[in-house]
Chains A and B, each alone.
Chain A
Amino acid sequence: NAGVTQTPKFQVLKTGQSMTLQCAQDMNHEYMSWYRQDPGMGLRLIHYSVGAGITDQGEVPNGYNVSRSTTEDFPLRLLSAAPSQTSVYFCASSYRGGASNTGELFFGEGSRLTVL
């Protein structure tokens, strides 16, 4: 069971560059989300999706874009990287979607991004 797979695991960018963090899950989960984890800040929700074709903003969406063309994939795009986006990014999914998403989250192993 692959679960939630994130790539790349590590990435270094220069300010202004763009990139995409990939996330794929093989559990047929409806709900997928992206978090960033910073020291002393816990995990903060960036964007989430309750199903293919449906996305919404979380707590800290600025500077990031997402799309959900398939149930399996939920890429996170950094449009113009800034040093403030240096963080560890986690993708997570849940089997329950829509308005009743109250279930446990399954996490990927994280993508560590440094913006110089």
Chain B
Amino acid sequence: SQQGEEDPQALSIQEGENATMNCSYKTSINNLQWYRQNSGRGLVHLILIRSNEREKHSGRLRVTLDTSKKSSSLLITASRAADTASYFCATVAYSGAGSYQLTFGKGTKLSVIP
């Protein structure tokens, strides 16, 4: 079952603009992660934010987490054509019997036009 849901499904911007993608989820989480997938490739981990964190930065990436609204956003600043990819949020939640499970959303397809 899908835990995270990304919004929008697709986003097209000009190079140099900022891109914002959102992720909403339904249950309490341990952490939330963002991944990038270039066309025809595997997923690559971008950033992990824990449930007790509100904001995290990594280079041109800024991730926020609002646990009261059960939502997260990924901001890519000064986008480049090379940022064209699909972006997925993944939530890690307690799944019972002392274990956790990571569940992916359906992704946002970002196109950066040169």
Kindly identify which residue among B44, B99, B106 contacts A101, using a CB–CB cutoff of 8 Å.
B99
Alpha-carbon separation in the docked complex, A31 to B50 (Å): 20
Instruction: Mark contacts of B90-114 with chain A using CB atoms, 8 A cut-off: 1 yes-contact digit, 0 otherwise.
Output: 1010000111111111110000000
> Do B43 and A107 touch across chains, with their CB atoms under 8 A apart?
yes
Question: Which stretch from A11-19, A40-48, A69-77, A78-86 is at the chain B interface?
Answer: A40-48
Question: Size band of the A side of the interface?
Answer: 20 to 34
- Kindly identify which residue among B40, B43, B98 contacts A99, using a CB–CB cutoff of 8 Å: B98
Q: Does B42 contact A (CB under 8 A)?
A: yes
The reply on B48 being an interface residue by CB < 8 A is yes
B41 pairs with A105, CB closer than 8 A: no
Hey, which chain B residues are within 8 Å of A109, CB to CB? 41-42
Task: Sort chain B's interface into a size bin.
Answer: 20 to 34
Which chain B positions have C-beta within 8 A of A92? 43
The SS class assigned to the B binding surface is: strand
B100-A43 in contact (CB<8A): no
Do A102 and B31 form a contact, CB below 8 Å, given A45-B101, A59-B1?
A: yes
> When the two chains form their complex, are residues B42 and A90 in contact, meaning their CB atoms are under 8 A apart?
yes
**A99 and B99: CB pair below 8 A?**
yes
> Is B42 a contact partner of A108 (Cβ separation < 8 A)?
yes
Contact B107 A42 (CB under 8 A): yes
Question: Hey, what's the 0/1 contact readout for A42-75 against B, CB within 8 Å counting as 1?
Answer: 1111000010000000010000000000000000
In the complex, which residue of chain A has the Cβ closest to the Cβ of B102?
A: A105
Is B79 interfacial (CB 8 A cutoff)? no
| Contacts A90-B42, A105-B90, A109-B41 supplied; 14 other A-B pairs, CB < 8 Å | A35-B104, A40-B106, A42-B2, A44-B104, A45-B103, A92-B43, A99-B97, A99-B99, A102-B31, A102-B102, A104-B48, A105-B102, A106-B45, A107-B42
